Amino acid sequence: MPRQLREVVFVDGVRTPFGKAKGQFAETRADDLVIKCIRELIERNPQLPPERVDEVAIAATTQIGDQGLTLGRTAALLAGLPNTTPGYSIDRMCAGAMTAVTSVAGGIAFGSYDIAIAGGVEHMGRHPMGEGVDPNPRIVAEKIVSPEALVMGNTAENLHDRYPSITKERCDAYAVRSQEKTAAAYAAGKIQPDLVPVAARSVEQGWGLATTDEGPRPGTTMESLAGLKTPFRPHGNVTAGNASGINDGATAAILADEETAKELGLPVKMRLVSYSFVGVEPEVMGAGPIPSTEKALKQAGLTIDDIGALEVNEAFAVQVLAMLEHFGIADDDARVNPYGGAIAMGHPLASSGVRLMNQLARTFEEKPEVRYGLTTMCVGIGMGGTVVWENPHWNGESA
C-alpha cells in the first residue's frame, strides 16, 4: 500500500542557559536540565494537550549516570507527560539533538507520530566526554584510525594541515566576531526568548537562578587570543579562545505534522526540507559538514546559493572556516551565525543541534526574504550532519 509522506515542521524550541563545566550547573542533575526544557515547551504551548505528544527522543553523548537509563522515557515521565508517552535515547555525539530531531521527523513524515519532542543534554562537568567507554583496541592496533581521531582538538589541528590557508590568525578573528555577535544578540534580546531559567543548587552558596550562558567573553580581542596556549600541538593553531568550551546544558523542541500543528493552533517556525549525515576520515572530523551539506542540498534540489541563512556549530573555528572556504563563502558573511555561536555560548555536545535550530528559526522570523536555511555540525569519530529548512514566513522575494 503506497503511503504519502507528510510535511514536518519545527513548532518551538527552548534550551537552558549553557554553563561552564564545574560552573553554574555543577551540582544540578543532567536529567533535570532536559526535564526543565520539556516542561517549558508544554507550558509555552498550552494549546498542545500533553497526551498528544507521541514520542520523546533525547540524546546524550555520555550515556551514563543521570544521562543514562533510556533518558527520553524517564525525562518524559518526570516532566509530567502521561504514562502513555514513550521515549528513547540517542547517541551521535555532537549531533545527538540533531539526530533526535531527524529521527522523530521521519516518524512524523511516515505517519507513525503526529507530534514529538526531541532534544539533548550534556553535563560535561559531571560526565567528561568518553567517561566509562572502552574503545576496541583494534581501532588503533589495526590502524583503522589514528589515535589522534579520539581527541577532538587533535583532529582540529589536522584540519589546519589540510587547509593551510586557514591560519591561526583567521581562526582568532573568527572567534572575536563570534564573541561580538553573541554580545550584540544578548544586548538586542535575541537570545533570551530561547532560554529557560533554571534553579541551580550549590551546597556552599545555596540556590541560584541560571538565566544566561556562562561562556561568553565580551571584549575578547585578537591581542588577548594571541598568547593563549596551543594544548594539542606545540606551536599549533587551536586554543581555548578559538574553540568551544566544556559545557553543561540541555535543549528540547516540538516537531509536528504541519496539518496537526494547524489543527491545534501551534506555531510553525520552520519546515523541514532534507537532511543528511555523512562519514569522513575520523582524523579530520571537522570536515564533516562539507559532504553532509552537499548531500542534503542535492536531496533538496538546491545549491549553496539558495541558502540565505546558515547556523554552523562552532566546535572549532577552523571547522567552520573549512566549510565556508569549500563553498566560497567569506569568513565574515552576514548569513553565517548572525547571533554568534558555540565559541561564545558553549557546546554541550549532544544538546547543540536544537540551539542551532532555535537561532535559524529566529532568522527566518526576522528575514522573510530568506526562503531556505540550514543547520550543520561536525561530529566526533568522523561525521557531519546537515538539515535544510524552509522559511514558512517567506514573502516570495529572493534573499
Task: Give one DSSP letter per residue of 282-300, joined into a string.
Answer: GGGGGGTHHHHHHHHHHHH
Choosing from 94, 123, 160, 171, which is the catalytic residue? Answer: 94
Asked whether 198 and 16 are in contact (CB, 8 A), the reply is yes
Asked whether 273 and 361 are in contact (CB, 8 A), the reply is no
The answer to whether residue 37 is catalytic is no
Choosing from 123, 127, 171, 378, which is the catalytic residue? Answer: 378
The DSSP secondary-structure symbol of 357 reads: H
Choosing from 123, 127, 160, 347, which is the catalytic residue? Answer: 347
Percentages helix, strand, coil for the chain (3-state, rounded to 5) are 40, 20, 40
Q: Are strands 19-20 and 307-312 parallel, antiparallel or unpaired?
A: unpaired
- List phi, psi (to 5°) of 137: -60, -20
Buried b (16+ CB within 10 A) or exposed e, 49-71: eeebbbbbbbbbbbbebbbbeeb
The answer to whether residue 171 is catalytic is no
d(CA 367, CA 398): 11
d(CA 68, CA 62): 8
Cα 168 to chain centroid distance, Å, stands at 24
The answer to whether residue 378 is catalytic is yes
> What do you get for the CA distance between the two ends of the chain, in Å?
41
Residue 41 CB contacts under 8 Å (≥ 6 apart), including other chains: 12, 13, 14, 117, 252, 253, 254
List, by residue number, the catalytic residues. 94, 347, 378
